[in-house]
Structure formats: structure tokens, C-alpha cells
Chains A and B, each alone.
Chain A
Amino acid sequence: MANASEDESSLHEIDWQGIEYVDPVDDTLLCPVCKTPFHSPITTQCGHTFCAVCINRALETQATCPIDRQPINKNQDYYRLPLIIKDQLDRLRGCDYEGSREHLEGHCERRCEFTRVRCPDPECDKLIARRYATPEQGCLHEDTACQYCSKVMTYVELGTHWEDECDGVTVQCPDCDATVARHRLERHQSHDCAEGYLECKWQSAGCKVAGKRRVVLEHQDSGCAFEVVGHLLQQRAEDRRVIDDLSMRLASLEASRSRRRGNRERQDLSARANGDVTPHSNIPGVVLNGDMPLVPGSAADAGALDSPEDYMLSQFERLDTQMDQLQKNTRDMEARLALSFLQHTTRVGEQFAELASKVGVINMHTAWLMNMQRQNYAQQRAGLAAGPSSQADASHSSDASATGPGSSSSDGAGMRYQAGSRRNSDGSRENRTRL
């Protein structure tokens, strides 16, 4: 370090590689080059991620990816880091400072107790964590002896030494007969000492047992009589919370529903004003819009009732009545449908019978025409055989076809006529006349 100003600036520059984190850091968040969590990471074209500093430094020597040795061009092959990695990094925590890593710089510079600052002693050029640097104490890098065990160390190390290692001066616990290091006595008394004072953990449920930890723990283990009550109380509190939550949601739902209903009624009114016939006034089956018993002012009613349970019950009843109404409407509708169906079917049946009789008539006419045709054919053949009689036969057949249409309108006579012609068609009489 060349001069003082440079020294100052480097003091507060965060040493990203030197940060210690509260929780263990996942291996995947470590830069493969410096083995510490990524700082302003960069992802290469080949998909590997490094700290900007690390990859830049590595590329100065060799322009390939340190992992798979693919060539890398610093100006083209850097990509933006997936945000998920940034998020994960920003969750890492250093000291007990709760905050994302992105705000770390400010915290570190001004407040963090763990930031290393210059030793308050102007003679000393070492750095020291801010929490230890108080001017009154002077330089803390001088060796001091632990006041309990006479081990020599710098003042900075003393704290952890006391917490974990030092067993220097031990004392008897005044309550139990355990031997503990003097500076840990307080913690022992409040947490471990079997003779210390403790209250039963079901005190809130009404248990009055309190006294020596040993006794109270035994009491708890052997089953405090208030344990059941305690559990019930806990459950009740839980239920209460659920109910509150639900009733709040219900109220908001009701409010939005009545708002919607208001809109719909306005629409109905305007439709009626325009002379349109609203559907539910016409078809009795569809009354959902108008006469629903549930809806009017339900949100307001909710306020009048005392407890959420009552409110729920009243809602239930309303839903019940609404259900009944709907069932009635459905039955109505079904009856109506059946009736109109019946009416339609009878009419169709009558028409069907009429059609059937007409088809019968047409059938008869067809048979008559066919006979006529056959007769004509036979007469033509006979005419070819005997010349002079053919003329008379032809005129007879034309007469018969002329009378045909007339016979269809007055059927009885037609039938008789047809029967006569049929006998003729046997050809027996003609044969006789020819002879």
C-alpha cells in the first residue's frame, strides 16, 4: 500500500472473496476459479459461469473457457447471467445483517460490525473488525492473557476463546453441584441448572407448577394435567384464526356478488323500459334473476349477525330455500314440456293416418293404370294377328283411359268399371267375337 488515501479506499472496498457467510453456501454458487460465491458473475457462450474478475484474468493468459477449453472472445461470448442465480446469490448472508447481498456494499461500508477497519491505535497498521475497534481500548493486537486461564492471545481472539475453549477458572454452581467455568455460569443457571427456577410450559393453560427445573421437567414428562387443556387452547386459537380468515373472505365475496347483482338488475330494468320482454317474465321455469330469496342485501345482513357461525347458518337456510324453489321450478317445467309434447304428438298422429289413407288411394290408382296398360298391350298383339279388329280395340282402350281419371274421384263406380275391364282383359269375350 503506497499512500494513505489509497489505503483508505481499499479499507472499505468489499473483499468479495473474503466474505464469510452465515449459512453454508451451495457448491453450485461457487466460482470454479476463486472457489467463492460469484461476484458480478458472467456466463460464457458455452454455458459456464465465473466471477467477472476471474474469467477476465483467466482469459488474459489463455482465451479459452477454463472448464471446457472452448475458445472465448471476451467481446462476443459473454452473456447475461440467468436472474435466478443472481437471486440466489443475493440471499446469501454474511453477518447477522438481514438484507440482500445487493445492499451489502452500503451496509458494509458504514455499519457492519464485522467489517475490518483500521486499528484505533495510530501506531498499529493492522485491521480489526469494527465491533472491536473502540478508541478507549486502544490497540487490540497486543497480546493479552486470558483472565481465567492465563493463555496468551490477542484481544480479538479472546471472545471466541471464552465462548468455546477456556476452562480456566471454574466455580461451583450455587444451586446444583455442577462445576462450570465462571463466565459461563449465567448461561448454565438460565438454561441447564437442575436446581434453577422454571415454570411449567402449560402455565398459560392454568398449570401452577413452578420451581426447580428438575422437578418441573419431571412434572412435564410425567404428563401435566393441563396439557390437554393447553392443546385444546392451541387448537382453539388455530380454529379461530381459520374462521376469521374464512369469514373475511366470505364477506368480500358477498360484496362483489351483490355488486354484480346490482348491475344485472339495472340491465333488466333498462331492458324492460325498452319494451323488451325479459326472459323470466315469460317462461315461469326461469326465475333465477328475479325472485331469488337469497340475494337481497345479504352483505348488509352479515353485519347485523353476531358471530360468523350464526352468519353461516343463516346463509345455509337461505341456500336451502333457494334450492327448494329451484326444484319446484324444475318440476313445473317438466310438466309443461310433457303436455306440449303430447299435443304435438297427437297432431302428428292424425296427419300420419290421413297420409296413410291417401297412399292407399294412390295404390289403387296405380294398380288400375297397370291393368289398363296390360290390356292395351294384349289388344295391340291381337290387332297384329287379326287386322280389321285392331281398330276397334284401339278405340276401346282409349275410351277406357279417358274414363280413368273420372273414376278416381267417384271411386265406387270406377271400381265396377275396372272389374268389367279386367274381365275383358282375359280376352275370352274378344276371342269369342273373333271366332
Chain B
Amino acid sequence: MSPAQFAAKRLGKELQKISNSLPPGIELVSAENFEEWLLDIKVLDNNPLYQNETYRLKFRFGTSYPIEPPEVVFVKLADRPIPIHPHVYSNGIICLDLLGQQGWSPVQNVESVCMSLQSMLTGNSKNERPPGDEDFVRGNRLRPKDIEFFYHDNDV
């Protein structure tokens, strides 16, 4: 079985599962194919930074999923802002070790990634973007997975 088939099988299973049930605050928006899914997440507690907001996540799966991580970014729409967080750039790119080559594990899945992001937002109290956000957003032409993040801060 080729890796692409493997990825499709696995995504099929995941889709089957999450279309039946998802944890609170996570919703499947669209999963037309096995390349790109959209999900909405909400922060459930009353953290004033994220209260009453819904954020759109875009998952892009390569053919080697789940061996390699999917590309996950926040998407900006009229009613879907980019959450403010010291690890989320204003163009939606997320700096999270879980989504990098090193931090990823094939045991992770779409649901677990969403939950991790949920809790990353829940635990944050800093109303700020990552340092050098403006420069990065202006200058970056790389895909998120090709950016070399330096995961220095394990607290947030």
C-alpha cells in the first residue's frame, strides 16, 4: 500500500469518528477530500482574550500523514479572526512543537491537535503577538512546515 493510500485510509477512519462526535468547542466545517479540512474551535472557559470568538483552522495533509505532521494554520475570515497569542503570528501561522517534525507523533490526530490548540489558547494570558511578528508576516514566503521554529518557551 502506498503512503497516499495509507493516509487516505487513516483520514477516512478519523473522519468517520469525528463526524459522529467531537469534543465540545470543536466543529467540523468541511472535509471534502483527504487533502484539506476546515474546523472551527472555541475557547470554552471565560478567558477574556478569546471570549465569544470562534477561530477557523485549516489542516493540510501530505501524503505521508500521519507519519509526518499536517500543516495547521488559523484562517482569517470576516467572522473568524486570528487569535492573539505569543505563538500565533498574525498571518495565522502557529509555532507549536507538536506540529513540527520533532514534536509530531503519528499517534496524534486532527482531534488531538484541535484540543492541544484549544488548551494552548486557554492557558494564555498575554495579549501579544510573537516577537518580530510584523517582519515575519511581511517577509515570509515559506510554507509553515519549512520554517525552522525555535521552540524556546515551554510555559505558554
Question: Which residues of chain A come closer than 8 Å to B3, judged between CB atoms?
Answer: 57
Pick the most buried of B3, B6, B104: most chain A CB atoms within 10 A of its CB.
B6
Total number of B residues with any Cβ neighbor in A under 8 Å: 19
B interface, by DSSP: helix, strand, loop or mixed?
loop
Residue A54 at the B interface, CB < 8 A? yes
Residue B116 at the A interface, CB < 8 A? no
Question: Which residues of chain B come closer than 8 Å to A57, judged between CB atoms?
Answer: 3, 6, 67, 106
Q: Give chain B nearest CB distance to A92 CB in angstroms.
A: 16
A-contact bits for B1-23, CB 8 A (1 contact / 0 none):
10100100110011001000000
Question: Which residues of chain A come closer than 8 Å to B67, judged between CB atoms?
Answer: 33, 57-58, 60-61
The residues in A between 50 and 88 inclusive whose CB is less than 8 angstroms from any CB of B are 53-54, 57-58, 60-62, 64, 66-67, 69
Q: Are B1 and A15 in contact (CB under 8 A)?
A: yes
Contact of A17 among B6, B14, B105, B109 (CB under 8 A): B6
Footprint of B on A, CB under 8 Å?
15, 17-18, 32-36, 53-54, 57-58, 60-62, 64, 66-67, 69
Closest to A30 in B: B13
Extra contacts besides A35-B17, A35-B109 (17): CB < 8 Å: A17-B6, A18-B9, A33-B67, A33-B106, A33-B107, A34-B6, A34-B10, A34-B66, A35-B13, A36-B13, A57-B3, A60-B67, A61-B101, A62-B101, A62-B105, A66-B105, A69-B105
Residue B102 at the A interface, CB < 8 A? yes
Question: Which residues of chain B come closer than 8 Å to A69, judged between CB atoms?
Answer: 105
Tell me the bound Cα distance from A18 to B101 in angstroms.
Answer: 28
Tell me the bound Cα distance from A258 to B100 in angstroms.
Answer: 80
Contact of A33 among B1, B17, B66, B102 (CB under 8 A): B66
A-contact bits for B107-136, CB 8 A (1 contact / 0 none):
101000000000000000000000000000
Contact of B14 among A35, A53, A62, A64 (CB under 8 A): A35
Q: Are A66 and B106 in contact (CB under 8 A)?
A: yes
Residue B68 at the A interface, CB < 8 A? yes
Tell me the bound Cα distance from A411 to B122 in angstroms.
Answer: 121
Closest to A67 in B: B107
Tell me the bound Cα distance from A58 to B66 in angstroms.
Answer: 9
Q: List 29 A-B contacts (CB under 8 A).
A: A15-B1, A17-B1, A17-B9, A18-B9, A32-B106, A33-B10, A33-B67, A34-B9, A34-B10, A34-B13, A34-B66, A35-B13, A35-B14, A35-B17, A35-B109, A36-B9, A36-B13, A57-B3, A57-B6, A57-B67, A58-B105, A58-B106, A61-B68, A62-B101, A66-B105, A66-B106, A67-B105, A67-B107, A69-B105
